[in-house]
């Protein structure tokens, strides 16, 4: 009886793996994890990761060509600023909903909690970034189409 239950469990897991692999193909994600009924499955694709690693060094020299020491000291005070809104992910920040459109917010503008202040594109998915609190945008710290890192300050709401 236990063997029949084990076979059914393995068949379910195999189905989940196929389903998750299909989602990876559809979305372009490199990794996905699911937990059901105390069974946790993780499906990852390493081929896509290698391509991303190859693409990053191509962009790195262009960033190094600009004076790097100046932005680093400026970032430290804004990161610890109590009104700083950190990036929840790695991606590309967009200040407007589409090219040529008005930006979501401008410096000096009032925002409400939950209002979209920018979009971060990650893995070809547009992720709206909502204001965590109401206030006034005192400084926008990123430019349009700028790559951003996890926890990098995006703007300051006071």
**Could you tell me the residue ranges of all domains in the chain?**
2-65, 83-157
Percentage above 90 pLDDT, the chain: 45
Say what the pTM is.
0.52
Residue pair 154/85 in contact by the 8 Å Cβ criterion? yes
Residue 84: pLDDT band (50, 70, 90) is: very high
Say which DSSP state 102 is in.
Answer: P
Q: Give the residue from 47, 1, 51 showing the smallest Cα distance to 24.
A: 47
Is 111 exposed, middle or buried, given 0-12, 13-18 or 19+ CB atoms closer than 10 A?
Answer: buried
Please tell me the distance from the alpha carbon of residue 13 to that of residue 38, in angstroms, as a whole number: 12
**CATH code matching the domain that covers 83-157, chosen among 3.50.30.30, 2.30.30.170, 2.40.50.100, 3.40.640.10:** 2.40.50.100
Is the pLDDT at 5 greater than 90? The verdict is no
Q: Kindly report which listed range (9-13, 20-24, 50-54, 90-94) carries the lowest average pLDDT score.
A: 50-54
Please tell me the distance from the alpha carbon of residue 69 to that of residue 82, in angstroms, as a whole number: 24
């Amino acid at each position: 009886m236990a063997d029949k239950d084990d076979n059914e469990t393995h068949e379910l897991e195999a189905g989940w793996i196929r389903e998750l692999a299909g989602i990876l193909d559809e979305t372009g994600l490199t990794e996905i994890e699911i937990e059901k009924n105390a069974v946790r499955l993780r499906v990852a694709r390493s081929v896509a990761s290698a391509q991303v690693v190859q693409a990053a060094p191509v962009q790195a020299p262009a960033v190094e060509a600009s004076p790097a020491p100046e932005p680093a000291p400026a970032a430290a005070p804004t990161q610890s600023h109590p009104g700083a809104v950190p990036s929840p992910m790695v991606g590309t920040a967009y200040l407007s909903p589409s090219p040529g459109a008005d930006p979501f917010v401008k410096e000096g503008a009032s925002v409400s909690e939950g209002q979209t202040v920018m979009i971060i594109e990650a893995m070809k998915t547009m992720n709206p970034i909502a204001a965590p609190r109401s206030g006034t945008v005192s400084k926008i710290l990123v430019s349009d189409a700028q790559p951003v890192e996890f926890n990098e300050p995006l703007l300051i709401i006071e």
